[in-house]
Amino acid sequence: MLDSVSAGEIEAAGIGKNFGRFTALKNISLTVGRGEFLTLLGPSGSGKTTFLMILAGFEAPSAGRLSLNGVDMTETDAETRGFGMVFQGYALFPHMTVEQNIAFPLRVQKQSAQQIKARVAEMVEMVGLGGHGHKKPSALSGGQQQRVALARALAYEPPVLLLDEPFSALDRNLRGQMQDEMRRIHKDTGTTFVFVTHDQEEALALSTRIAIFNHGELQQIDTPREIYDRPSNRFVAEFLGDINILPVNPKLTDEQGALAEFEGRAIRAVSDQGGGSSVAVRPEHMILSADEMPQGNSIPAKITDIVYLGAETRLALKTPGGSDLTMSLPTHAVPATAAVGAPFWVNWAPEHGVFL
Amino acid sequence: MSKSMKSALLLLGPLLAFLMLAYVFPFLGILRWSFTLPELGLGNYSDALTDPLVLSVFWRTLRVCVIVTVVSVASAYVITLLWVRGGPVQRLVMELCILIPFWISVLTRAFGWLALLSNRGLINTWLQGIGLTSDPLTMVRNEFGVVVGMAHFLIPFAVFPLASAMRNLDERVLLAARGMGAGRQRVFWTVFLPMTAPGILGAALIVFVFALGFFVTPAILGGGRSVMVAELVYLRIFQSPNWGLGAAISVILMIGVAFLMGALMKAVRPGEKS
């Protein structure tokens, strides 16, 4: 088990990156805490991988400063930073065996043969590859290669481990397994992890915090729960999970929260800024009722489609004003009277609505 | 036979027919001479393998070809490295340096080297002019001249397999090595070079096999003093009419090349898979 004291804290201040006239990153400022698992999440071309490459030292930022444990490292090259890195496609040395791959960074550090041997054996064991040590990467499955890459990157106890979409080549089942393993290894090593992915489920499952990128800008950085429940803008709301966005007229804020009007009805929701032009509600936060409910928000709608998905059922509805709604209910909670064309009331608690 | 096989055969047909007429039939003829001229039997082969002159030519050919292969592949490796991994301007310059000699005929190039390397050639005149040497250095009519001329001709042939090996290399593997603290030297020797090894073997095979059959360059730059196998065959057939012996030497050369190709193919194949 590694010493969590060696975990590093990274601070990025105003990082920008231009490729010719193209702006890949604009003014990114964030801190990655010691031992944190930070996920950089965004659609392709959002700048998340560029940011990771800047953290690794493979790309130089066009603007801004980077520091590790309070010491400026903006000009430090990748060799000296010594962060662990797991690449998309693993980037294993094809001409070396599993053990030789894992020993590579230890050899670079000129550790003694004895130390290297012990450490390699420990790492092989940690990633569950006992008995595969003498194989070449080409003789291993994708998941096994992934483990070798992880073991190699962690062998020399780097202060920070950077991971660039490490699971993108694996099938779904294996992904789940590797995610569990990744969580365990993060816990065991205590190292700071910075992880790039475009898979939102992966991000929610693994991270202590998520940083959402779009068009080279940092949209929001917070815990998975906070980002899911309180998206700070429309992009974040729509990017992470499904969400209903209702166009509203903002009115005023009173002591019970913010107030707005949707199709002639008063809607309450939470807001820091006091109202916005739309209210966002997650499909699973809405409930169906036959009559208008006295408390909370309640709007009438007709069912337009019912999709049975096993444990849950998705309902599509339309309001009298023509807005589309999506609801997600546990299948056992779907009323027997639910049918296409049936009128219902859609209800949700004010704290589940967010002004955007 | 499937439809695509049929159309493939149809398209390849003219080429196959040409190869049969231009190579296979004549070669069968040579094979026959080697056993029948001047009389039926294995006499030509026993002569070829015992005659000290023939053996010394075989030995010299092998030595020159090994040296040429090492020199060509090593220079081609550096050239390809500069070409594939350089900036846009460097890439263009290297491309021209590789391609322009490629377009000039072997003969012209051999005479070009003669003009440069001979006793009263450019290099010797210059060396003597600035007083570095008093007597001319002998750089042609010996193996040195042959090696220079052959390597110059063969370098581009080594560049192409090396370039494809270097281009196919996953850049991220090099980044990974750097990220783990390995400096440029270490990345080159422990990662880049071993990963391009199949390309090196391929280039060496092409250059070596090509070099074995070289005729014009050794004839001109060796000036009849460093005779190589191809020239020996020519001499046996055209100057001292001993067609049977010339044919036997050709067949021995051919078998040697076939063995070598087979062995190297086997060595290269497993590397290609990974």
Q: Is A152–B178 a contact, with Cβ atoms under 8 angstroms apart?
A: no
Q: Searching chain A, which residue's CA lies closest to the CA of residue B194? A: A95
Token pair belonging to A64: 């801004």
Q: Is A100 on the interface with B (CB under 8 A)?
A: no
Token pair belonging to A85: 């890195």
Q: Is B185 on the interface with A (CB under 8 A)?
A: no
- pLDDT score at A266: 83
B43-50 and B243-273 helices cross at what angle (nearest 10)? 70
Q: Residue holding tokens 């040429």?
A: B68
Q: Is A137 on the interface with B (CB under 8 A)?
A: yes
Hey, CA dihedral for A246, A247, A249, A252, is it positive or negative? positive
- pLDDT score at A160: 93
Could you tell me if A116 and A260 lie in one domain?
no
B168, B180, B185, B195: best to mutate for the A interface, most A CBs within 10 A: B180
Q: Is A345 on the interface with B (CB under 8 A)?
A: no
What's the total number of domains in chain A?
A: 2
Closest partner residue to A104 (CB to CB) among B172, B180, B195 is: B180
Q: What are phi and psi of A57, to 5 degrees?
A: 95, 10
The helix (run of H) or strand (run of E) holding residue A253 is: strand A249-254
For A41-58, write each residue's pLDDT tens digit.
999 889 999 999 999 999
CATH code for position A346:
2.40.50.100
Could you tell me if A15 and A118 lie in one domain?
yes
Could you tell me if A50 and A187 lie in one domain?
yes
Quick check: A250 and A260 in contact, CB under 8 A? yes
Could you tell me if A174 and A200 lie in one domain?
yes
Could you tell me if A300 and A201 lie in one domain?
no
Q: Which residues does chain B have within 8 Å of residue A105's beta carbon, measured at their own beta carbons? A: 180-182
Flag whether A239 is in a domain.
Answer: no
Q: Is A88 on the interface with B (CB under 8 A)?
A: yes
- Note the maximum CA span of chain A: 77
Q: Is A91–B176 a contact, with Cβ atoms under 8 angstroms apart?
A: yes
A/B interface, count of CB pairs below 8 Å: 72
User: Stretch A36-42: mean pLDDT, rounded?
Assistant: 95
Token pair belonging to A345: 């009331």
Quick check: A209 and A201 in contact, CB under 8 A? no
- All structural domains of chain B with their residue ranges: 59-273
Could you tell me if A24 and A74 lie in one domain?
yes
Flag whether A238 is in a domain.
Answer: no
For A309-338, write each residue's pLDDT tens digit.
999 999 999 999 899 999 999 999 888 888
Could you tell me if A40 and A181 lie in one domain?
yes
Q: How many Å apart are CA A97 and CA B230, to the nearest integer?
A: 45
Return per-residue pLDDT of chain B as tens, 274 residues: 677 888 888 888 899 899 999 989 999 999 998 998 888 888 889 988 898 988 999 999 999 999 999 999 999 999 999 999 888 999 999 988 888 888 888 888 888 898 889 888 888 888 888 888 888 888 888 889 999 999 999 999 999 999 999 999 998 999 999 989 898 999 999 999 999 998 999 899 889 988 988 888 888 888 777 788 888 888 888 888 888 889 999 999 999 889 888 887 787 665 444 3
Closest partner residue to A94 (CB to CB) among B175, B190, B195 is: B195
SS3 state of residue B160:
helix
Could you tell me if A213 and A300 lie in one domain?
no
Flag whether A76 is in a domain.
Answer: yes
Could you tell me if A255 and A207 lie in one domain?
no
- pLDDT score at A127: 86
Flag whether A289 is in a domain.
Answer: yes
Give the residue, A5 or A168, on which the prediction is more confident: A168
Task: Residue window 193-252, chain B: list those with CB within 8 Å of chain A.
Answer: 194-195, 197
Of A232, A252, A269, the one marking the end of a domain is: A232
- pLDDT score at B252: 92
Quick check: B74 and B151 in contact, CB under 8 A? no
Q: Which residues does chain B have within 8 Å of residue A81's beta carbon, measured at their own beta carbons? A: 179
Closest partner residue to B191 (CB to CB) among A93, A109, A136 is: A93
For A262-317, write each residue's pLDDT tens digit.
888 888 887 665 557 888 999 999 999 988 888 889 999 999 999 999 999 999 99
- pLDDT score at B129: 86
Quick check: A258 and A268 in contact, CB under 8 A? yes
Q: Searching chain B, which residue's CA lies closest to the CA of residue A79? A: B181
Query: What is the DSSP code string of B70-116?
Result: HHHHHHHHHHHHHHHSS-HHHHHHHHHHHHHHHHS-HHHHHHHHHHH
Cβ neighbours, 10 Å, residue A104: 26
- pLDDT score at A257: 67
For B7-32, write each residue's pLDDT tens digit.
888 888 899 899 999 989 999 999 99
Give alpha helix (H) positions in A62-198.
78-81, 98-108, 113-126, 142-154, 172-189
Of A178, A200, A232, the one marking the end of a domain is: A232
Quick check: A270 and A257 in contact, CB under 8 A? yes
- pLDDT score at A328: 93
For B128-140, write each residue's pLDDT tens digit.
888 888 888 888 8
Q: What are phi and psi of B208, to 5 degrees?
A: -65, -45
Could you tell me if A63 and A206 lie in one domain?
yes
Question: Facing residues of A260 across strands?
Answer: A250, A267
Least Cα distance to B242 among B28, B94, B10, B53 occurs for B53
Could you tell me if A62 and A175 lie in one domain?
yes
Flag whether A237 is in a domain.
Answer: no
Q: Which range of residues forms the domain containing residue A35?
A: 4-232
Q: Is A58–B179 a contact, with Cβ atoms under 8 angstroms apart?
A: yes
pTM of the model: 0.79
SS3 state of residue A76:
coil
Interface pTM, i.e. ipTM: 0.77
Flag whether A175 is in a domain.
Answer: yes
Those residues whose C-beta lies under 8 Å from the C-beta of residue A349, and which sit 6 or more positions away, are: A285, A296, A297
- pLDDT score at A272: 60
Q: Where does B59-273 sit in CATH, by number?
A: 1.10.3720.10
Sort A331 into a burial class: Cβ within 10 Å, 0-12 / 13-18 / 19+. exposed
Residue A179 has pLDDT above 80, yes or no: yes
Q: Searching chain B, which residue's CA lies closest to the CA of residue A57? A: B179
Could you tell me if A112 and A186 lie in one domain?
yes
Quick check: A229 and A243 in contact, CB under 8 A? no
Q: How many Å apart are CA B54 and CA B46, to the nearest integer?
A: 11
